Structure 1
Amino acid sequence: MQPWSYKTHGRYEEHVFVSEVLKDNPLHDAYERPLWVYVPPNYDAEPERRYPAIYVIQGLTGQLDMWRNRSPYRKNFPELADELFASGDTPPCIVVWVDCWTSLGGSQFLDSPGTGRYHTYLCDEIVPWVDAHYRTLPERDHRGITGKSSGGYGAMITPMLRPDQWGGLATHAGDALFEICYAPTFRDSVRALRDHYNGSFEGFWADFRSRPPLSKDVDMLLLNDWCMAACYSADPDGTVHLPYDIETGALIPEIWERWLAVDPVKMVPQHADSLRTMKAIYIDCGRRDQFFLDLGAQAFHRALETAGITHAHFELFDATHSAIEYRYPISLKYLAERLAP
C-alpha cells in the first residue's frame, strides 16, 4: 500500500458543531468541536435509502484528527472503515466520529462538574443533529457506538445510561474492573508526586504545562489519575477528589465507591434488563494489554453472562494495548450486520 491517503469510495464530511451544553464547561475547553460523518458508497445514488448509524469515540488524549494518524505499513481506521463498506460484504452504515477531548485528556463520556456535560453533548446534541441532517434509521435498534480504551469505556456505559438511544456497542480494551486497571498504579503516582512535585498535583500540572507535554515518564500516570478523578469524583462545584491518600496511596473508601459506581462491571446488574434488549454487544482485548484491560474485558463479559445476557461476542487476541486499529473493522462489521434492518 502507499503510505498516504487515497481516494475513498464513500465520503467523509467534516463539520464544526457548536455545542450549547459545553459552553460553560469548567475547563474552558472549546465548545465548537469537529465532527466527521462518513456516508457509504452509493449514498447519493439511492436518495430514498436510510442507514444504521455507528458512532466512534476515542481513547484518553484522543482528538478527532488523530484518526488520520497511521502506523507504518498500515491503513488508518477511516481508510479501513471505507474499505470495509466498499467491499460490499457489510451492510452500509453512516459512521459518526465524535470529539470529546478535554484539556485533562478526556471526558470518559460522562456528565461531570469536573470536566463538562459530555454525555449530554453526545446523546442529546450530536445524535439528534446527525438524525436531522443525514438519512439515518433513527430508532435505537439501528444505532451503535464503538471505541477503544477510554472510548471502549464510553461504549460500554453510554448504552447502559441511555438504553432508549443505543441498540449496539463494541468495546476494544475498554476501562473496566477498576480495582485492576486503576488501583494498582496509585502507589506509583504517590511516589512520583512525592519525589518530583512535593506531593502536589498543582506542582505536576504547573510543570506539565511549562514544557512539551508527555515528555516525562510520569506524565500519563498522573494525568490519568487526575482526569479520571475529574470525571468520576468531582463535587458539584467542580472540586476534584482523588480516591487515595496523597501521602500513602491508601484508598479513601467514600471516594473510591464513587469510582466503582461507574465501573462497567459493577453497572451491569442494575442495567441488565436493557442490556438484554441490545441487538449487538462486542467485547475484545489484547491478551498482553499493558493495563490489564483484558481482565476487565473478561469481567465485563462474565457479568453479562451472570445477568443472563448470552448474546455478547467476546474475544481475546494476541496483542498489547497499542496499535490494534486492525481490530476496529471487525467490530464495525459486527455492529453493521446486527443493526441493519
Structure 2
Amino acid sequence: MAASCTTTWRCAFLALLVLFVSGAHGQLSPTFYASTCPNLEAIVRSVMNTTVANEKRMGASLLRLHFHDCFVEGCDGSVLLDNVPATPTTPAFFGERNAFGNINSLRGFDVIAKIKTAVEQACPGVVSCADILTLAARDGTVLLGGPTWTVPLGRRDSTTASMDLANRDLPPPFANLTSPDGSGLIERFVRKGLSAAEMTVLSGAHTIGSAQCQNYRLRLYNEARIDFQFAEGLKANCPQNGPANDTFLAPLDSTGSTFDNKYYADLTSLRGLLHSDQVLYPQNNQTQVKIVLKYKGDNAAFFADFAAAMIKMGNLSPLTGTAGQIRTNCSIVNR
C-alpha cells in the first residue's frame, strides 16, 4: 500500500492541510463519527476490498463518481439520486445522472448502495451517502496502489440534484486548457477554488480507469499532436465511420489499473487518450509544461499533491449542521 507522504515536510504539510480544511468547514472532522459510528471506515474498507478484488476498474469508477459529485454544487451525494417520474401533482425530476458527462458512463452506484446497507446495519440513520462516497473514492485509490489521506467527515446529503448544473460544471473530454468563454479546464477549476496546478494533479486520476470511444474518437482522427502508433492502435476498435462502437473502452494511461505517474509520461509522449488530457501538456504554456514534468519525474510529489488536492476537492461546499439530510437510501430522498 502506497503512503501519502514520503518525507517529513510532506507529512507535516498534509497534517496541517487536514487541520485547515476541517477548521474552515467547521463541522467537518476526521473524527466526526468517532462515537456514533466508530467502525465506519472499517466497514467501507471491507466492502471496497472485496469490490476491487473482483473488478479493479471499480476503484477508478468510484473515484470518478466522487469527482462528478463534488463538481456540481459540492460534495453532497446529489449525483447518487435517481430520476423520479412525473406524478399528477409533481413534474418529473431529472438528476445529474442524465448530464452529458454522466449518462451511460458513471458507475459504482450499486457499490455505494452495498456499503450504505452495511453501514445502516451498524449505525442506522447516522452516516451520509456523501461521506460514504468520499471514503470509497479514497479506498479505491489506495487499493490500486495510490496514496491515502485522512478524510474530514460530517457531510450531509442534498435533497435535490441538477442535470443543468452538471452539464454546465463538469469538464467535457473535449475541453481546452483555457478558453475566452470560460469553458476551459483552468477556468472551470478556478471557479471551484482550485488552481491550475491542482487541476493538473487531480487530472492524474486518469492514471486509472478507461474511456469510451465516443469520447476520444475526434482526437484520433482530427488532431496532429498525437503519437502516430498510439492513434493507429486505437483506431481498429474505434472507427471513424461504419459501426460506431461508441462504448469500446480504452485505458486512460499505459499502466491501466495501477495508480502511478505514468499518465504524465504519456502526455509528454503525446499519448494522452482524451483531448482534455493532452492539452495539459501544451506547446505554448511553459508554466503548465513544468507542472506536468514535475509529476512525470517525481511520483512521490504526485502522490503527496494528489492527496492534498483530494482533501481540498472533497470539501467543496459541503452540507453540514441541519442542512440537507442523512438519506436512508442513497438514490432516493427521504420523505
Q: What's the TM-score, normalizing by structure 2?
A: 0.29
Higher relative strand content: 1
Higher relative helix content: 2
Point out which structure has higher relative CO (alpha carbons under 8 A, 6+ apart): 2
Q: What's the TM-score, normalizing by structure 1?
A: 0.28
